[in-house]
Amino acid sequence: MINTLTEKIKKLEAPIVVGLDPTMKFVPEHIKKQAFAEHGETMKGAAEAVWLFNKGIVDAVCDLVPAVKPQIAMYEQFGVEGVHAFQKTVSYCKEKGLVVIGDIKRGDIGSTSEAYAVGHLGQMQVGETMCRGFDEDFATVNPYLGSDGVKPFIEVCKKEKKGLFILVKTSNPSSGEFQDRLVLPEGSTDASKARPLYEIVGEKVAEWAADHMGDSYSYIGAVVGATYPEMGKVLRQIMPKSYILVPGYGAQGGRGKDLKHFFNEDGLGAIVNSSRGIIAAYQQEAYAKYGAENYADASRAAVIDMKEDIKEGVFC
């Protein structure tokens, strides 16, 4: 799947992933009215509104971007109906030819991680039939439990030809509370040899990546926030064969000029996420002219502007 993602990025000249992270405040009133008329002001009605909202955006941008990234928590908040909306969103995006990155941030002890991996990326036998769960193409994984929590995902990816993005240095303001903590090499008391935890995690990702290669890049990637460009520069060198999923663009403050060092010299190796900056573009002053009725057109315009910003900041 990493080969497919790379080829789509090259063809579209758009290293962009649209984060499908809907909340009810992003959904225009006319969509909520339609969903509530059919299902009432219920969890089912809310989930239907989210699904209709997503569908409009996907239809508007699917020819511009290679991938989408639905964040599962934004669907789980609506209970089982929301999970159903997540599944419908994943399936529809794949029908439209998009690579789907399931932003699930899972990680647990071995048997539990295996169940997560099978449910999101693999298949299981039910009687005499092999069945798939959510069936995303990639998933985000939290490595905090160590190799026990990551290797089951890697094994499923190897079997299913799918991929991972492992959290290394995240874009949120408090990420440094743990990720930036300095760690001494085992047995050392020399403070000058201490290194931040995110570099050590990055080295482990690079190790896994080297053993699980596609044509040019590994299907074991990393998550590194656009809000920390200098750290991204270091991690790019540590993980040369891993694709970096870069959150934090747009609403969190990242801009095209901050992204140059996340990419390799071949112009590849990174894919940049924008969520509310695209899906809620119609609520921003720059795209207010589209109005709520044409929210999807505003999202399309935001993608085009993002593509140009990345081009100017990274490749010019």
Q: Which residues have a catalytic role annotated?
A: 105
Compute the distance between CA of residue 71 and CA of residue 84 in angstroms, rounded to an integer: 13
Residue 14, C-beta contacts closer than 8 angstroms, at least 6 positions apart: 64, 65, 66, 303, 307
In the numeric block, the tokens 């899972």 are attached to 106
Asked if residue 112 lies in contact with residue 151, where contact means CB atoms within 8 angstroms, the answer is no
- Tell me, letter by letter, the H, E, C secondary structure of the chain: CHHHHHHHHHHHCCCEEEEECCCHHHCCHHHHHHHHHHHCCCHHHHHHHHHHHHHHHHHHHCCCCCEEEEECHHHHCCHHHHHHHHHHHHHHHHHCCCEEEEEEEECCCHHHHHHHHHHHHCEEEECCEEEECCCCCEEEECCCCCHHHHHHHHHHHHHHCCEEEEEEECCCHHHHHHHCCEECCCCCCCHHHCEEHHHHHHHHHHHHHHCCECCCCEEEEEEECCCCHHHHHHHHHHCCCEEEEECCECCCCECHHHCHHHCCCCCCCEEEEECHHHHCHHHCHHHHHHCHHHHHHHHHHHHHHHHHHHHHHHHC
